[in-house]
Chains A and B, each alone.
Chain A
Amino acid sequence: MKYKYLSYIFILALISACQPEIDEFTPDQGTADFSRFIAVGNSLTAGYTDGALYEQGQKYSFPNLMATQFGPVGGGEFKQPLLSYPDGIGLQTTPMGTFYIPRLTLQKIPTCTGEAYRPAPTDPSYINKQQEMAAALMTPVSSQGPFNNIGVPGLKSFHMLIPGYDTLNPYYFRFASGPVPGDDTLIAEIRRIDPTFFSVWIGNNDLLDYALAGGEEGGPAHKITTVGPDPVFGHPGYAESMNTVLTSLADPLAHNAKGILINVPDILMSPYFNTIPYNGLILRRGQADTLNMAYAQVPNINFDAGPNPFVIEDPGVQTGMRFIEEGEHILAIVLDSVECKGYGSAKPIPGKYVLTHQEVSNIHGTINEYNSELQDIITKFPANVAYLDFHALLKQAHETGIYADGIEFTTEGITGNLFGLDGLHLSPQGNALVAYYCIEAINANFDAQVPQVTITSFPSIVYP
């Protein structure tokens, strides 16, 4: 019987020894040097999401995910200025003023139509903690620097050229290394660690304030800070600012670092601008009749049973109001007023919460201009700069969806997987998708084999 047991063991050993093996992948840095990687950008680079900058969100930032993947190909440490304040600190500008808010979570809250899941500040007592939050945000962590992640929430292109910008933006102030003789701009901070590799993604914010203000002054802009003469729209300095930062990093005759440049997406495809569909006014026959009586004096406004466009203010038409049209956008900030206070039905939605065709076309025109300027800049350093056309990717997610590892990425709010709860910034999986496409572009441009990020290892949003 001994033999029998021995035979069993032998067979089991044989079966386990017959496991198939595959080893197709060899990491390779190609022509790039990933030892000192620096990420330059705005809130997207910083890992700001769900309405706030917070530690876990920063850990999911796409440059941090990229830095992890750079590990096997000679990558070094990637320091981020983590904000350890519980639930983080964001800035929200509302008609009542600007507030520090903690990150948003999905919560079941009462609305006029009953309880519903909505993104809401984690800690509802934040109104009473404004001073504490301001102090926490202004607490310097620069002694732990210099940092590799130079993502500054609120950063616009021309901010990079303003000396002393750290005194104007608390998110930068907290980690900036302080004045340098001769150059006191953000560019000096970028070059402090002598980067060998970089990511640059700047431009969204140049347009975002304008969009969040409904294209009008006095709108509900999420302004981080106001910098001198700060035209919210179409600042002429984009090409100059981007040329300066990229030349300082990638010029083969000077610093000669390699890196990736990400272009400016159509920010109006973000969930924030599409949460309220233009024709989202669903009426029953009786409701339509009542509204029609109320608007009897207004030509061209005629409600019907079923979906109707919302009514918006428009000083350009004689009656001062009209139906919104497809291709125009309503800001998500008025969701509650639309659902509960008759915005868009009983009374027109104010213009500062609406982007009309003209305003949309201003934004689209500027984005196209910016992206063609970026194309011009990179033709100067083709061997040093990989280019990610995120504008095309977001368009694809918006129109057909992007599928990766069985996950469908769309621009839907909450369930679209790409965006976090604020509808403007990336979810962890969204960050992983951006890191994936960056690595793909880097591998192609620098003949490298950086191991790809596994998107399914990251969560979408946090469901209650």
Chain B
Amino acid sequence: MKRIYLSAFVMIVFSFCALAGGYQVKLQGQKQTGMGLIGTPLSFGASSIFYNPGGLSFMDSKFSVSAGVNGIFANVAFEKEGTGNLFRTDNPLSTPFYIYGAANIGSNITVGLGVYTPYGSTTQWEEENEDGIPWAGRYIIHKISFSALFIQPTIAYKISDKLSLGAGFIYATGNVDLERSLNYNEHSMMKLEGSTSNIGFNAGLMYRPTTKISVGVNYRSKIDMKMEDGDADFTVPELVGTQIPEKNTFDATLPLPANLDIGISFQVTKQLLVAAEVDWVQWSTYETLDFTFQESGDVLNSSITKNYNDSWITRIGAQYELSEKLALRLGAYYDPSPVNDDYFNPETVSLNTIAWTAGLSYSPVEYLSIDLSYDQLNGLKSDKQLLDENGENQFSGTYKVITHIPGIGVSLNF
């Protein structure tokens, strides 16, 4: 076992990170993560519930159970334009996870249930930088944390040996937590907290024209997370308290965009599997983020321009089965930022990102697999600005991001 520990750590060290643009997180299976987060054309057991319900029918076993967790270590740096002042995030570790179970119940029908966290991010800027300068964007955002949990009962039907369809119903819950300083005195701040739920669906098909080729198409619907009556707490001087009540409630809507993923895999040799995928993430739905407050709306209501763009993510990945017990994986992808260059807000620092991944699975016994993955995201250095209501720049500078995401999971197939 010692050798496994060591190789696992070596793995983690040489491979580390998997956030997609915006606030989407596609870490729903360690095997897929190791291959550049490609899942649409692949069937790795129950985790197809997320990546492509159509792939469930091609499960090798009657039952499949899979669970895992990732740790996201995101490091954002920002140099304010014209100042040379560097600020960093002090993000807490965030841990997306997944649990799936699937069973082939006969008559070419497979059913399953997945619980997973496909969206989420926490951006928390340091209070002050190394030179003792307070975070210059604190009147825009100090901390924002968003997470969503999806529960997805799923059914797949194998039409023929070559074609399978699958679909799942999504029950989504989410919560958001936001903190911003207010420009009155050093204690003045606004804290918003809200949670909500909504429904959506996830559907896909998998087509295997030959034993070596697999093609997958998957669509996840847009889900609007409508926050209603969230708590809005204001800490303000008494003088301002007549205009801004301490306790208030707010409504806001955060869209989770639709995804259309298309992928293909090819079994080159008995050991080597290669795959490629393109994901169309329909972020252009995110036009504004509107906050409507119950009280003092005339002072507090805001409409923040987002004007996100759709993003096209391209991925490649490969798996090499060294032995019956050990499989190695590598992958890479390019994920262009969906965020509008002119409305780039330090709350969601999503840059054009080049990522590479690695992973391994170890099967001490045939039905069990221990899966490790590492994903490293390199948000490419770029200059961004945030325009104000008059169309003039109000906050600009250079951003760069490095994110490390190690992950561990376990799968049982029997």
Contact = CB atoms under 8 A, between A and B. Distances in A.
Interface centre among A11, A106, A406 (most CB of B within 10 A): A406
A456 B392 contact: no
Contacts of B315: none
B390 to A, nearest CB: 5
A417 B13 contact: no
Interface centre among A15, A414, A449, A460 (most CB of B within 10 A): A15
Interface in A22-38: 22-27
A18 B374 CA distance: 14
Given A7-B6, A27-B84, A457-B133, A18 B394 contact: no
B134 A457 contact: yes
Interface stretch (A80-88, A322-330, A378-386, A397-405): A397-405
Given A462-B185, A463-B185, A20 B400 contact: yes
Given A18-B75, A24-B398, A106-B239, A405 B84 contact: no
Given A10-B13, A417-B183, A21 B77 contact: yes
Given A406-B140, A451-B82, A14 B77 contact: no
A416 to B, nearest CB: 11
A19 B77 contact: yes
A371 interface: no
Nearest to A6: B9
Contacts of A406: 137-140, 183, 394-395
Contact of B79 (A25, A117, A405, A455): A25
A331 B77 CA distance: 49
A27 to B, nearest CB: 7
B113 interface: no
B6 to A, nearest CB: 7
A10 B85 CA distance: 30
Q: How large is the interface on A (under 10, 10 to 19, 20 to 34, 35 or more residues)?
A: 35 or more
A3 B5 contact: yes
A405 B394 contact: yes
Contacts of A454: 80, 83, 85, 133, 136
Contacts of A106: 239
A419 to B, nearest CB: 14
Contact of B237 (A3, A25, A396, A463): A463
Interface in A437-464: 443, 449, 451-452, 454-457, 459-460, 462-464
Contact of A20 (B75, B82, B135): B75
B402 interface: yes
Contacts of B389: 400-401, 403
Given A405-B139, A406-B139, A407-B183, A20 B401 contact: yes
A27 B82 CA distance: 9
Contacts of A403: 388-390, 392, 394
A396 to B, nearest CB: 8
B404 interface: yes
Nearest to A13: B13
Interface string A179-208: 000000000000000000000000000000
B73 interface: yes
Nearest to B185: A463
Interface in B99-147: 133-140
Interface centre among B6, B80, B381 (most CB of A within 10 A): B80
B60 interface: no
Nearest to B2: A3
Nearest to B239: A117
B76 interface: yes
Nearest to B396: A405
Nearest to A440: B82
A415 interface: yes
A414 B379 CA distance: 42
B237 A405 contact: no
Given A20-B77, A403-B394, A405-B394, A3 B6 contact: yes
B86 A22 contact: yes
Interface string A405-425: 111000000110100000000
A429 B238 CA distance: 21
B414 interface: no
Contacts of A18: 16, 75, 402, 404
B300 interface: no
A253 B139 CA distance: 48
B381 A456 contact: no
B184 interface: yes
A406 B75 CA distance: 23
Nearest to A417: B183
B88 interface: yes
A142 B175 CA distance: 63
A11 B15 CA distance: 11
Given A20-B401, A406-B140, A11 B13 contact: yes
Given A14-B16, A429-B183, 16 more contacts: A3-B5, A10-B13, A20-B77, A22-B78, A401-B389, A404-B394, A404-B395, A405-B395, A417-B183, A452-B83, A454-B133, A455-B136, A456-B134, A457-B133, A459-B185, A459-B186
Interface of A: 3-4, 7, 10-11, 14-15, 18-27, 106, 117, 396, 400-401, 403-407, 414-415, 417, 429, 443, 449, 451-452, 454-457, 459-460, 462-464
Sorted nearest first, the 10 A-B pairs with minimum C-beta distance are A406-B139, A403-B388, A463-B237, A25-B84, A406-B140, A20-B400, A452-B82, A403-B394, A7-B9, A20-B77
8 contacts: A3-B6, A19-B402, A117-B239, A403-B394, A405-B394, A415-B240, A451-B83, A456-B134
